[in-house]
Structure 1
Amino acid sequence: MTIRLSHECNGDLPCSILCDFDGTISPEDTTDTLLARFALPGWETLEQQWLAGEIGSEECMSGQIALLDMTRDALDNCLSGIPIDPAFKYFVALAQRFSVPLTIVSDGLDYAIQRILDHHGLGHLPIIANHLEQYSERRWKLSFPWRDDHCRHASGVCKCAVAQTTKGRVLMVGDGRSDFCVSQQADHVLARGDLIEECRRQGITHTVFHHFSDAIPSLERLLHTPAREPDPTSFNPLMPWKTHD
């Protein structure tokens, strides 16, 4: 028997959606776009050290943002051209219709995410991300209000810590490395990109999507399927949904 998410399930909240931004809502990695356009030499070396596991994302991004050389106008002009998945607004509307909270949880840049969402009429969504600060006309730095000293990957935003403080069941939507760890804690994962293979490798309950036009019917199916009494012979409380590839 399959136990699925229901908007009538017990608890203060039926579930909460935690959604990645770069590579998920936006097809581009916003930070990489800014670095490629505005960074002084050296950011690629930091990127390679992070990919090799030599440094965490907090150290990597802090060093990379320190290399950005741009005015705020130049930043805003660049951000205005970064697209998002056009169906994401309908995904948000569906979540709102069922009173399911949706929070953007990203190891990216809060200012950039806010600016892009504002441009697409979605600026009301709550954002958890690293804090971008301007300290001179052309120079920038990061602070990390969502860091966690116990984060296994030394990330600027520990998505696992965010998930642990979220009420109700957690539906994680993501695509890449910053979502690998938290996907093991979520009740269900909507996965695209590299996260698909990670979920398969780890046996994580997930649904594959490639665009939010795919994710909308998956979310609707999860929200409409009533919760049932578990079959004691087959129910695994840690994996309440079956995988839909």
Structure 2
Amino acid sequence: MASRRNTIVFTDWDGTVTLQDSNDFMTDNIGFGEERRRELNIEVLEGRWTFRDAFRDMLDSVHKPFPECIEYLKDNIQLDPGFADFYKWAKEAGIPVIVVSSGMKPIIHALLVKLVGQDAANNIEIVANDVKVNDDGSWDIVYRDESGFGHDKSRAIKPYAELPKEERPMLFYAGDGVSDLSAARETDLLFAKAGRDLITYCEREGIPYTVFHNYTDIHDKVKAIVNGEVTLESAIENENVEAL
């Protein structure tokens, strides 16, 4: 094992650990549809609307009772084929994997149990929004904080990033979309999913990142860095920006 054992991997959930974004999937198929959702994503990406307000608008268009939403997603959402092996390696290496999501914890937990197993659900910390289920079966998202994101993901990472140098772990983050914008600057290496909005944001803002297509890419890169085979600096693939 490694030249550096003190490591934490933070990861988005929807569209990063899973192949589909569960909230987008609900919005597209049982809400107001993909066209309107993409319009809202662009508004957030361009800074004309907050993620918090756009996300609530999306979820308000979904009228299926919450327990039915969970079953619907369990029937339709697929796991990234590389994540299970990555989780097994990280657990054996003593590396915490922390899900930091703008989605809802009950949905993520239910999908984690189904897709990866109860062991993973017991061991992977989930930092996410919550849900209030009403007596009539309707439901509302309960945001984690007061920020324009509803859940400012950077707040989950900063306590580790701001530790004294001798105590600070090596930090990784993997994400794909507009909900990851607040976390993009906070770790030593950012993995951004190919073809998604997070890359657009990083290119515009000059934030260093490395591209991933699936979790096998992340597994290979993190393992090589932890084992001292490559440096963090060499793992940054884009050449248009300088490392933080």
Do both proteins adopt the same fold according to a TM-score greater than 0.5, normalized to the shorter chain? yes
| 1:17 matched to 2:9 | yes
Measured on the aligned residues, the alpha-carbon RMSD in Å equals 2.8
Long gaps (5+) in structure 2: 161-167, 239-244
Deviations 1:65-122 (A, max 9, x none): 3343223442232121211112201111121122111110111122211111110213
Which AA in structure 2 matches 1:98?
A: A
Task: Give the equivalent residue in structure 2 for 1:56.
Answer: 50
TM-score normalised according to structure 1 size: 0.77
- 1:84-103 aligned at under 5 Å gives the runs 84-103=79-98
For residues 147-186 of structure 1, what are the alpha-carbon distances to aligned partners after superposition, in whole Å with 9 as ceiling and x for unaligned?
Answer: 254xxxx101111111102352320111122223322221
Counterpart in the other structure of 2:21: 29
- Structure 1 stretch 112-121 or stretch 203-212: which is displaced more? 203-212
Contact 2:27–2:37 at 8 Å: present in 1 too?
no
Partners of 2:189 and 2:171 lie apart in 1 by: 7
TM-superposed CA distance for 1:127, in Å, is 0.8
Other-structure match for 1:123 = 121
1:29-48 pair list within 5 angstroms: 29-39=21-31, 48=39
- For residues 58 and 198 of structure 1, the distance between their equivalents in structure 2, rounded to whole angstroms, comes to 18
In 2, the alpha carbon distance for the partners of 1:211 and 1:84 equals 10
Specify which structure has the bigger relative contact order, considering alpha-carbon pairs within 8 angstroms and separated by 6 or more residues. 1
Structure 1 segments of 4+ aligned residues over 6 angstroms from their partners: none
The one-letter code matched in structure 2 to 1:99 is G
TM-score normalised by L of structure 2 = 0.78
Distance 1:62 1:155 in 2: 11
Alpha carbons of structure 1 residues 172 and 65: separation in structure 2 relative to 1, 3 Å: same
| Structure 2 residue aligned with 1:190 | 191
Q: How does 1:65-76 map to 2 (within 5 A)?
A: 65-76=59-70
Indicate the residue corresponding to 1:143 in structure 2: 142
Q: CA deviation at 1:227?
A: 9.6
Match for residue 222 of structure 1 among 220, 225, 234: 225
For residue 184 of structure 2, what is the amino acid of its counterpart?
S
Q: Which residue of the partner structure matches residue 208 of structure 1? A: 211
Q: Where do 5+ consecutive residues of structure 1 fail to align?
A: 1-5, 229-239
Tell me whether 1:107 sits opposite 2:102 in the alignment.
yes
> Kindly, what percent of the aligned residue pairs are identical?
21
SS where residue 165 of structure 1 aligns? helix
Work out whether residues 173 and 191 of structure 1, in 8 Å CA contact, stay in contact via their aligned partners in 2: yes
Decide which structure has greater helix share: 2
